[in-house]
Structure 1
């Protein structure tokens, strides 16, 4: 508000009061008053990354030193942080079923395999074995003439075998498979001479997709 006044220089001759106003008051507008500024502390140091390896976040804070009714300044900041990649251990599939015994009689072996699904990375634990072998024996091989040393050495009297066939294609192209070869009997003696089969592991390298 503002006010102004004036004085009566000469009152009426009859001694009455002047009827005119000697003071005026009116509203006035001044520039907006300044608000109390936000008083802030310095930013704190950045916190540790939220993870011990790989990608995480970190933050920092500051505090209000004054307490105005409205303060729009941010009091917390967050940013991404990156540490060395996390170690990744080797991952393998479940074991396959045991293969058939590679011999039809006498002592042989059977195998099972499993695939490498993920190679170890960034110092992760190495891969375990991917092939296991164990002994198998279906039945004793019969020999003629009481099983003498000569019969044992030849496998069976009167049993002639063809040369080994080539190895078959591997059952899978990667991750651990198997292949086999046969040796067919030329002359079969009932109950004594039978085809022979061998099985071996193949393509043990991991698959990449």
Structure 2
């Protein structure tokens, strides 16, 4: 320890030159004293009272227009209190008012005035009302009120009496027929003027009708009933028989169209001769099975009604084809795949397709799943998504290894 000098209630360690309190690393002799750096020398003091540092600059005003406040700060570090020394008296911050240019005030409309009196005693007039931009009035570059200061509307009183008057007749309408005799009509409306208020309606009729004459209407021809069939043209085998009708019901007149279709109709007929009933040929060979595995494969064979074919006799009875189930092997399947929850409580209840694998998948912030997946899809996810665990199991041993179940 360097030379010390007793000065009042503290000791100065002259041999220790310091900048901050931590440079004074040796202890003091007397109980309750602390060593601090004062004027670049370490002193042992019973306590150091705190002293305020300089005020900071004022910060920005709390508003950009009108009246706000601003403040500044100081710290109790000149010196900082230590030992049994007291803290700096007073507040570490100071606040004052700041006055900027007045804030813009946008104009606002006051209430509408009452409507003016209607200027007419009957019929329709116009009334108006006003408002002022004083709630508030715009100031300090504030925008004026938007919209109109005046509003106009109609006022409806009892209708003034107006007697109705007929407008001109319309042109004659089309004749109700295009041939022979019909009627046509024209109209007029009670709108010149239309009656209103207590005015009287128009007198007379609003519609007028008259006859119109055209040439005779065309009469289209119509067929009579068919006559009886003629005798068959052959006495054995297949022949032809004919029947006729006439365009006389009615006969076409005045440019009417002829009857549509043919006047005669023919049909095949069979003369009395030998009768041969049809009989089936032998069954053909069985076709190939529709599938190579599974329970839904089938094959069929066919026969023909030509041993002999029927001639004027009965056709063959029964079906011309026969279908039979194929005895094929079961289709191959993929691995068994359980259903598991996140606690690995698993139930063996699924068998994947031959093109599928049993996927075990766990992503961050995603639900844990075990399910059948196309093999190519499982391989793709396993190589693409690296923020979790994906296993593609094709057998029971793989599932036991990764799930830890039996």
Report the TM-score, using the length of structure 2 for normalisation. 0.22
Report the TM-score, using the length of structure 1 for normalisation. 0.38
Q: Which has the larger radius of gyration?
A: 2
Give the number of the structure with larger relative contact order, counting CA–CA contacts within 8 Å between residues 6 or more apart.
Answer: 1
